[in-house]
Amino acid sequence: MNKTTTKLADGRELLYYDTDDTSVRDVLDPRPLEPAIALSEIRRDPSTGDWVTIAAHRQGRTYHPPADQCPLCPSRDGRAGEIPADAYEVAVFENRFPSLAFDAAAHVGRSDAPLRTSAPAAGRCEVVCFTSDHEASFADLTPEQTRLVLDAWTDRTAELAARPGIQQVFCFENRGAEIGVTLAHPHGQIYAFPFITPRTERMITTAAEHRARTGGNLFEDLLAAERADGNRVVLTGEHWTAFVPFAARWPYEVHLHPHRRVPDLTRLDEAERAEFPGLYLELLRRFDRLFDAGPTPYIAAWHQAPVGGGHELALHLELFTIRRTADKIKYLAGVESGMDAFVNDVAPEAAAERLREVATRG
């Protein structure tokens, strides 16, 4: 992998990842951009202890532009976008409308009042463009392209985790307008948080309780139990297993775990990295075969242990769709949004069976 680091016109960082070690990326950004100012802050909810990010400046971000004005496409035919090159393999850049930004500390104050605790949202938000092909999706990538994306995720995890104040790195993809995606180009994002996210906090607490009760690691025991039962296993390889969780929250939800427990992407070995692309592409293609209703909207989220160690969280990827039938969406209504108490209309065992039925053939 060849990595090239450069700057956009407003000073944001842009990184190219190429399979060719001799690639040269020296095209400058010609746009007359003024530096963006991030006014984000994080506020602690006094009733739950959760951190909430306030980022009012994001109201003006780009919203469903026409394909010929996509800012993530290569810059061609006199039209300059976020990526100056006229072609690329994988490109990563700082979001122009970030929820988190390191320079927020220069513009936002801090409060330590018991019921009004706040701080600058000093982190980083990056956009990861998986391919320069606007009409593609992640499922259209080759295993070689997918491996390059994995290597980019890994590199960004290592670099961002080393930044002062960062407590968790989150790599994810939102796919589909139904999910809330505002740019159709195949891309994902990376958030470097200055706090541990609420869902991760709950996982850490549950893992500690499991250790105290059983003496084992929650995620190792969970994976072993699912592999032994087999009823909800969707796909398995030598180094990874994908299964529908016993208490799935979403209509079709799959968790992909490496067999060897590691805390984050940087700790995967070469055999695990080599096997991942084929299994992940197969999962995405099965998701697209679930319904006769066009591409399936989904969220793919890497769960990594917080920075610094001391936690038992195991690296895994959670993939789920909000679509429950070809023409019905799982909306987060009263009990889900109001109480965080999920109700799933699809039995996890039925979802696993369906995902086995739609295996890619040929």
For 246-292, the pLDDT digits (tens) are 999 999 999 999 999 999 999 999 999 999 999 999 999 999 999 98
Residue with tokens 């400046």: 57
| H-assigned helices in the chain | 143-161, 198-214, 218-229, 270-288, 339, 348-357
**Assigned domain for 220 exists:** yes
**Assigned domain for 49 exists:** yes
Q: Which structure tokens are listed for 244? A: 């529908």
Number of domains forming the structure of the chain: 2
Q: Which structure tokens are listed for 50? A: 């959760």
**Assigned domain for 338 exists:** yes
Q: Which structure tokens are listed for 361? A: 């053939």
Residues 161, 247, single domain; the answer is no
Residues 52, 185, single domain; the answer is yes
Torsion region of 154: left, alpha or beta (phi above 0 gives left; psi -120 to 50 gives alpha)? alpha
Measure the N-to-C terminal CA separation of the chain; round to a whole number of Å: 31
Q: What is the pLDDT along the chain (362 residues), one digit of tens a residue?
A: 999 999 999 999 999 999 998 888 999 999 999 988 888 999 999 999 999 999 987 877 788 899 889 999 999 888 899 999 999 999 999 999 999 999 988 889 999 999 999 999 999 999 999 999 999 999 999 999 999 999 999 999 999 999 999 999 999 999 999 999 999 999 999 999 999 999 999 999 999 999 999 999 999 999 999 999 999 999 999 999 999 999 999 999 999 999 999 999 999 999 999 999 999 999 999 999 999 878 999 999 999 999 998 889 999 999 999 999 999 999 999 999 999 999 999 999 999 999 999 997 64
**Assigned domain for 93 exists:** yes
The reported pLDDT for the residue numbered 361 is: 63
Residue with tokens 């990595």: 3
**Assigned domain for 288 exists:** yes
Q: What letter does residue 358 receive in the DSSP assignment?
A: T
Instruction: Give residue 154's domain range.
Output: 2-197
Separation CA 18–CA 343 (nearest Å) = 43
Q: What letter does residue 322 receive in the DSSP assignment?
A: S
CB contact at 8 A, 298 and 329: no
CATH number assigned to the domain comprising residue 350:
3.30.428.10
Residues 221, 351, single domain; the answer is yes
Active site residues: 187
**Of the residues 197, 219, 248, the one at which a domain ends:** 197
The reported pLDDT for the residue numbered 362 is: 46
Q: What is the pTM of this model?
A: 0.96
| Sheet of 51-54, strands arranged across | 51-54, 41-44, 116-120, 111-113
CB contact at 8 A, 250 and 321: yes
Residues 347, 205, single domain; the answer is yes
